[in-house]
Amino acid sequence: MKLAVAGKGGVGKTTLAAWIGDYLARCGRETWLVDADTALSLGSALGLAPQNIPPPLVLDETLIRERVGSGFINLSPEVADLPERLRVRLGNLSLLVMGSVAGAGGGCACEANALLKALLAHLLLDRTQDLIVDLEAGVEHLGRGTVADVDGLIVVAEPSWRSLAVAAQIAGLAAELGLVRQALVLNRAPQGTTLPDIPGLPPLAASFPLFSSLSERQLTSPSVLQLSQRDSIDQGCRAVLNALADPAACDAGGGPELQPPR
């Protein structure tokens, strides 16, 4: 499956992307995790040391110019070699640090966007792999069509009105882009939280409590993996994946056939 994770700032998008990627990889699936945010935090959430996290593609002006040109932009640049060249491998998991599409900086934001879109479209074509895109916070990037090709959208929210209102806004925009398969994940939610009546929220697929062990650990390490609550986190990830699974894709061999993680 190709999924994107969206939501208001700080709600736990990167954490959830890392949890789901780790879960899928332990189930034996070839999984790509794509960091499409400015904060570049997905690598550290996976426990990678800073020196092992590559700089974001969006800042590689030489590569961008080489593939896309400047002035006259090649909108179909050659990208087939890039995933292999740029990924960081962690067993079944591959991390690709793209950087923010909206924040593509320097003097070549359009060129960087063209390369990112082509690369994402290329990765999304391969139906045998799973891919999770960790998006930057907010709603703006959804309008750019970057996520138009994903199968499903995970909208993360905290149990707060503002966070849920942004979730509903994101869900509405994504639906306008044709991305109607959506799942809401409540993060840091006390048990038994009831959702307020905010129109347009996706169906709730899973809730994760505030893990005090994670809060404590974040003082000394950015990694969100290998928590003692991993079994219950896996359960939540499974619920999210099931909520977004395409039965037709499963029949065709394209959906995840998950073996219990080792």
Ligand X SMILES: Nc1ncnc2c1ncn2[C@@H]1O[C@H](COP(=O)(O)OP(=O)(O)OP(=O)(O)O)[C@@H](O)[C@H]1O
Which residues form the interface with Mg ion (CB under 5 A)?
A: 13-14
Q: Which is nearer to ligand X, 160 or 218 (CB)?
A: 218
- Residue 152: phi, psi to the nearest 5? -155, 155
Separation between Cα atoms, residue 155 and residue 6, nearest integer Å: 5
CA angle 92, 97, 103 (to 5 degrees): 150
CB 212 within 8 A of CB 182: no
Residue 211 makes contact with ligand X by CB under 6 A: yes
Residue 113 makes contact with ligand X by CB under 6 A: no
Please choose which of ligand X, Mg ion, none residue 214 contacts, taking the beta carbon within 5 to 8 angstroms, the exact cut-off set by kind. Answer: ligand X
Residue 10 makes contact with ligand X by CB under 6 A: yes
Separation between Cα atoms, residue 195 and residue 220, nearest integer Å: 33
- From residue 118 to residue 157, the character string flagging contacts with ligand X as x (rule: CB under 6 A) and all else as - is -------------------x--------------------
Closest contact distance (angstroms) between CB of 14 and ligand X is 3
Closest contact distance (angstroms) between CB of 38 and Mg ion is 9
The region of 2-10, 23-31, 60-68, 244-252 touching ligand X under the rule CB under 6 A is: 2-10
**135, β-bridge pairs:** 36
Subset of 31-90 contacting ligand X (CB under 6 A): 37, 39, 41
Q: Which is nearer to ligand X, 12 or 99 (CB)?
A: 12
CB 209 within 8 A of CB 247: no
Structure tokens at 261: 């993680």
Separation between Cα atoms, residue 116 and residue 206, nearest integer Å: 30
Separation between Cα atoms, residue 125 and residue 99, nearest integer Å: 20
Closest contact distance (angstroms) between CB of 16 and ligand X is 7
Residue 14 makes contact with ligand X by CB under 6 A: yes
Q: Which is nearer to ligand X, 39 or 63 (CB)?
A: 39
Residue with token string 């069509």: 145
CB 56 within 8 A of CB 97: yes
Q: Which of 75, 210, 250, 252 binds ligand X (CB under 6 A)?
A: 210
- Residue 54: phi, psi to the nearest 5? -70, 155
Q: Which is nearer to Mg ion, 13 or 117 (CB)?
A: 13
Q: Which of 2, 3, 4, 13 binds ligand X (CB under 6 A)?
A: 13
**153, β-bridge pairs:** 4, 182
Name the residues that contact ligand X, by CB under 6 A. 7, 9-15, 37, 39, 41, 137, 187-188, 208, 210-211, 214-215, 218, 224
